[in-house]
Amino acid sequence: MNGSQSPRRTYRSPLRQEQAARSRERIFMAAQTYLESHDIETLTLRQVAQLAGVSPPTVYAYFPSMDDLVAAFFHWMKERVGLDQPLPGVAELPDVPGRRFPLYEQHARLLCNLMNRPSWDRARLDDRTQRHQVWLEGLRADMPGTSDTALRLGARAIFAFWSPTLWRWMKETCGFTPEESERVARWAVRALADALKRDPAALEAPSSPTPSDERTNR
């Protein structure tokens, strides 16, 4: 037998993994309860530990900083409001608000309390590029030949009509009922999707006028 040592095998106990998952869930649930009526900027890791009934070192082990906790909580919330779901084909896009808005309503207090808070907006913006890119690639397959510019502008306009931000605006600024919000969003998504398919060139940047064009227009 030589003097070399075998590499240590890493063994992750299923029981430990289950306990860790339960602890994380308790932390997220405690954060949710707090954030339904308090500003996210006032929350600390020690408060989360106290609210969740776990020790501070347990929270620190999973989330070394509040930014880490907020980022993880954002992705936990995405699952609950349907923002992690892939988009259907173009023909079914008008159905998306009807799937998302009832989930927003279930978490209305929390969503409204989190919007426009700096730490929450950082997590949302960090996630936006990847999330939109996945959606754009899904639409690209249904719209061959559409330019990158038209697809980017048109698709993101469509995406806006099932976002939590526009859902809240329709409720609070327009005074729509939940059913009216869904109906308007479905109508807008259908109209935008039809326009993107029918006339994508309208979203292209206009070409610079040539000197002869300028003389003609005088």
| Neighbouring residues of 86: CB distance < 8 A, sequence distance ≥ 6 | 134, 138
Q: How many domains does the chain have?
A: 2
Tokens for 191? Answer: 């109209």
- Contacting residues for 30 by C-beta, under 8 A, at least 6 apart: 48, 51, 52, 53
According to the model, what pLDDT value does residue 1 have? 45
Secondary structure class of 118 (helix, strand, coil): helix
Same domain, 21 and 102: no
- Report d(CA 140, CA 60) in Å as an integer: 42
Tokens of 155: 């698709």
- pLDDT of amino acid 7: 55
Whether residue 127 sits in one domain with residue 198: yes
What does each of the 218 residues of the chain score in pLDDT, given as a tens digit?
Answer: 455 555 555 556 787 888 888 999 999 999 999 999 999 999 999 999 999 999 999 999 999 999 999 999 999 999 999 998 888 989 999 999 999 999 999 999 999 999 989 999 999 999 888 888 888 888 888 888 899 999 999 999 999 999 999 999 999 999 999 999 999 999 999 999 999 999 999 998 776 555 555 554 55
Same domain, 46 and 131: no
Asked whether residue 36 falls in the same domain as residue 102, the answer is no
Residue 117 · residue 39 · CB < 8 Å: yes
Domain of 44 in residue numbering reads as 15-64
User: Is 101 found in the same domain as 59?
Assistant: no
pTM for the predicted model, two decimal places = 0.82
Statement to judge: residues 148 and 60 lie in one domain: no
Q: Has residue 71 been placed in a domain?
A: no
Please indicate, yes or no, whether residues 22 and 92 belong to a single structural domain of this protein.
no
DSSP code of residue 173? T
pLDDT of res. 20: 84
Same domain, 56 and 92: no
Q: For residues 198 and 202, what is the distance between their CA atoms, to the nearest angstrom?
A: 10
C-alpha distance across the termini of the chain, in Å: 95
Q: What pLDDT does residue 206 have?
A: 74
